[in-house]
Structure 1
């Protein structure tokens, strides 16, 4: 019971925002009401068919051809209505499902991409694996299962109460003697169906309960395998150059082995479950005939009455056995809700940790850092900056040994690094541009890659070509509208120059470079830096790097150095 309450709580926590706070909740309720009405209409038609069975089979038994023809005509008309109801019940249900999924995707994607939260969730190690699967697959399954299973439950409940009275009246009394006394059970077939369904539901849950955890694990293994396939594709050149295909193949087959192993376990468990549920369903087909046959052969029950009884029993038994017939889907639904709840909790935990970060970034005209302590995720001190100021238009080069915290300091200046304590004042985000050592080039047109993160149409063709020419990339000028995976089509140096071209186009007031020219040869680096100097004369530039060309490009030089190996690095004048 505790598990059921926890499941219901988690389900409603995920579903409630759309049905209570969304701007399209009225449309959603309208669609839901239409689907429910059609659902009820479907149950009503099944009730009509139940009575029709009585009349139809009686006409056959009595060889009443005129009634037979009339009943066939009635069946044709009602069958058309049944088809119309079924079509629009499916169509409107899918319409509601896609609208709900769209709203959830927009909401969850917005929360995940709220500032650097997606980065922090990975950085904090919150245990939310494969967020792509949560957003793409689990939200789809959540809306699908939530609507189909809850509407199916509603249909089962309405069907149950619609046919209980019919079955009660048709089954009559069951008399038997025990200990010299005669006992009578009114509506005995109702009680038989109830006991049959309760016993079947208990056994189904007993057999199939492990499927919930198995399905959860299966989705994780599938997503991990898919992720590593994508990662291999994105790093194809590095793997090929280092002849790493054997290692990658072994790793991928190992991950796929987990997929297969868990799936085989699911198969075995589903086989056990199917043995029971299939036997349960087949027994339910013949059982009402066995129970009703004595009355029929005694002549107290006509053929139509027998068939109506069989139909009513089938409807009641199916309604009572809803959990049994839907158990596999319910198990997967519970696994989906568990995964989405974990993702939601990860997003909320990341937001809480962001709010509790000791590094505060505030607006300011220049760049000012005061008493900043930068820590590693494990809490150990990495670097300390007691006082650092950079005026607008000034240039500063930060140097230091690998691992001294240069890039981490830049992440702190960008507002990405939450581990530490201190205050940073700098210009607003729209006035700053941070360029990492490894460029990010979206899979899009070259125009979009150059304009990123602004829309592709922000800059004219003339501006784009001028930026390419300034960075010795004029050979790409005729490919502005070509869509490609530019990270695979361009060399490391070309990728860095495309990224530098963004600075020429965006013209930020503050430019932060994290070894953004490290892949360039000295001559190309010098030309690129000169292009930045010419195009951005009033821009303040803070760089990380080691080369002499960078030293000549900046007016000030500072270094992060450690006095002792285990002490935090501190800013000192570069030598």
Structure 2
């Protein structure tokens, strides 16, 4: 589906309270079912307890890490004093404590990151499965394609779920750790110099304001980057999916230009992002450097005057440096949060769209579906899903077991839409649809669905658990004239890109092989033989008839009339007519004669066996007799009228252009050409 770019919708572009509330609601919608499920069966209670236990452990590890780090600043201060006093025994003891603290910091830091990543992985696994469940529920994956405001669902699932969980845990853990560090070291600085602490608070407020501004710009750029990458990825996927068509048209230059345009837009966005990130890095560096210099400017004179010891100066410097590092990290995380907010917005939008497309609209009429062991439309008026167009009106058709119904009509008139109604994909309208359970129905589209799997899995699809031996599968391939396929692969368990190595005709025969394997009670064929020659088509339909399955076909070929008993013709004005194949052919033959300026009341010439061509002709009215006249047969065969008369007198049959065979009935009450 083509991407739809809307670069003005980032939640962080205009950070008004309503935008923040919307963002927070999106976060709650994504995180709530995992961390605090309210619906029964949403998550196992043991899983919730386990993950909250891991979260509490993570918080305790962060608190311990900050505590040990703060403790180490005092140890550093004491080491400085011991060195200044040249107290070697206390120096050794202090170094041991300092080393132990460093080891604890290393272990706590590593273990806290491990726990954080484990939680993120568990959340990612659950959120991905939860989203996929909604994606495949009630055929939302099909219905979402009719939503033009939701682009690239595949990218949203495969590339944008994992960053939400990892970024959320990373940001939360870092935020907690750095806020605790800043608070702890601010208290330490306050105990040394209230003036320095006050300046740091003011400095922090100013720094945050600047950081928020820089972060807003990066948020906008990150939102654009996601959408531009989606566009670029879509173009490349489009080329791969339509490689053969592009090769036929020799459209490489045009496709390359289209892709280059998308890539240039992406490059421009990346250049803007580099510039803003550079601005942010310069600000971070300047911010951090100023804090590192400031305590020396204030405390050095105090130390030189003897009002403070050197350990206090060192500790204050370490505290200010740690405060600066924590602040710089927070600023960087807030800058990166723009990408997180974009992911959250897109996933929330996608999740809401999945729920919307599966929710039945209120105050609208729908076709009622009844599951029974036959197919029937009972006063069905079918409309497009948006209720804007009527496809067929007041349709009543019942198909008896073992019969074949052929649906015909102008292109775009809704033939395939009736099949969608049978499959439950479209239900806008009124009336009743009686059909068997969908498990008993096999659908064969014009372009068969080729799965990603082995040849064996292709043949037994959709029942992938069915067990069939190699000889049985070989016999199936023989029946659909695909016996040479095994010469091109190593066996039934070979997995290759089947869509690339099989022609459309071979794919259609493979689909018929599935039919012979599955042997369903009901089969729906949507131009399923359009790429086959008449011999292969005839072979497959004959085998279909032998299975005694009830089937509905959509098609334009006249040859299809040979394999069906009934014809349902759809018209442009939403009307329809149901005829037997024979009646439909007679109707069309008369229309041909009428369209050829032949008067329906014109008498026809009959040559009895005992009369010469010069004898008087017998006149019979067409509209009083069932069958075709000599002139009608002449039009259907393009044969001379004398040839038609001669074969009539000799009792020979004639095959018309549409493949039907007629014989002349010499009964004085008939005297017409009738189908044999």
Is the 1:379–1:419 Cα contact (8 Å) retained in structure 2? Answer: no
Q: Give the CA deviation at 1:422.
A: 3.6
Task: Note if 1:560 corresponds to 2:570.
Answer: yes
Structure 1 equivalent of residue 374 of structure 2: 366
Q: Matched residue of 2:556: which SS?
A: coil
Q: Which of 296, 303, 317 is residue 303 of structure 2 equivalent to?
A: 296
Change in 2 beyond 3 A, CA 1:285/1:455: farther
Deviations 1:451-503 (A, max 9, x none): 22222654333332222121011223453111111111101100111111111
- C-alpha distance in structure 2 between counterparts of 1:457 and 1:426, whole Å: 24
- C-alpha distance in structure 2 between counterparts of 1:276 and 1:421, whole Å: 65
Task: Note if 1:6 corresponds to 2:22.
Answer: yes
* Aligned ranges 1:407-556 → 2 under 5 Å: 407-455=416-464, 458-477=467-486, 479-534=491-546, 536-537=547-548, 539-556=549-566
Please list every run of 5 or more consecutive structure 1 residues that lacks an aligned counterpart in the other structure. 172-186
Change in 2 beyond 3 A, CA 1:418/1:195: farther
- C-alpha distance in structure 2 between counterparts of 1:73 and 1:264, whole Å: 50
Task: Note if 1:121 corresponds to 2:144.
Answer: yes
Q: Give the CA deviation at 1:155.
A: 1.3
- C-alpha distance in structure 2 between counterparts of 1:474 and 1:32, whole Å: 59
Is the 1:112–1:347 Cα contact (8 Å) retained in structure 2? Answer: yes
Q: Matched residue of 2:525: which SS?
A: strand
Is the 1:197–1:317 Cα contact (8 Å) retained in structure 2? Answer: no
TM, length-normalised to structure 1 = 0.91
- C-alpha distance in structure 2 between counterparts of 1:36 and 1:484, whole Å: 49
Structure 1 equivalent of residue 177 of structure 2: 155
Structure 2 equivalent of residue 73 of structure 1: 96
* Aligned ranges 1:183-332 → 2 under 5 Å: 187-319=194-326, 323-332=330-339
Task: Note if 1:32 corresponds to 2:60.
Answer: no
Structure 1 equivalent of residue 415 of structure 2: 406
Is the 1:369–1:387 Cα contact (8 Å) retained in structure 2? Answer: yes
Q: Matched residue of 2:367: which SS?
A: strand
**Higher relative contact order by CA 8 Å / sep ≥ 6: 1 or 2?**
1
- C-alpha distance in structure 2 between counterparts of 1:420 and 1:264, whole Å: 52
Q: Higher helix share goes to which structure?
A: 1
Q: Matched residue of 1:434: which SS?
A: strand
Is the 1:201–1:323 Cα contact (8 Å) retained in structure 2? Answer: no
Q: Give the CA deviation at 1:553.
A: 1.2
Q: Matched residue of 1:493: which SS?
A: helix
Q: Give the CA deviation at 1:418.
A: 4.3
Tell me whether 522-531 or 486-495 shows the greater mean CA deviation: 522-531
- C-alpha distance in structure 1 between counterparts of 2:81 and 2:224, whole Å: 55
CA RMSD across the alignment: 2.1
Is the 2:138–2:358 Cα contact (8 Å) retained in structure 1? Answer: no
Structure 1 equivalent of residue 36 of structure 2: 20
Q: Matched residue of 2:524: which SS?
A: strand
Structure 2 equivalent of residue 392 of structure 1: 401
Q: Give the CA deviation at 1:254.
A: 1.3
Structure 1 equivalent of residue 576 of structure 2: 570
TM, length-normalised to structure 2 = 0.78
- C-alpha distance in structure 1 between counterparts of 2:291 and 2:199, whole Å: 11
* Aligned ranges 1:100-139 → 2 under 5 Å: 100-125=123-148, 127-139=149-161
Q: Give the CA deviation at 1:318.
A: 4.5
Structure 2 equivalent of residue 180 of structure 1: none
Structure 1 equivalent of residue 82 of structure 2: 59
Task: Note if 1:340 corresponds to 2:347.
Answer: yes
Deviations 1:421-465 (A, max 9, x none): 443121111111111101111122111222222226543333322
Q: Matched residue of 2:150: which SS?
A: coil
Q: Give the CA deviation at 1:44.
A: 1.4
Q: Give the CA deviation at 1:106.
A: 0.6
Q: Give the CA deviation at 1:203.
A: 1.3
Change in 2 beyond 3 A, CA 1:317/1:271: closer
- C-alpha distance in structure 2 between counterparts of 1:42 and 1:462, whole Å: 67
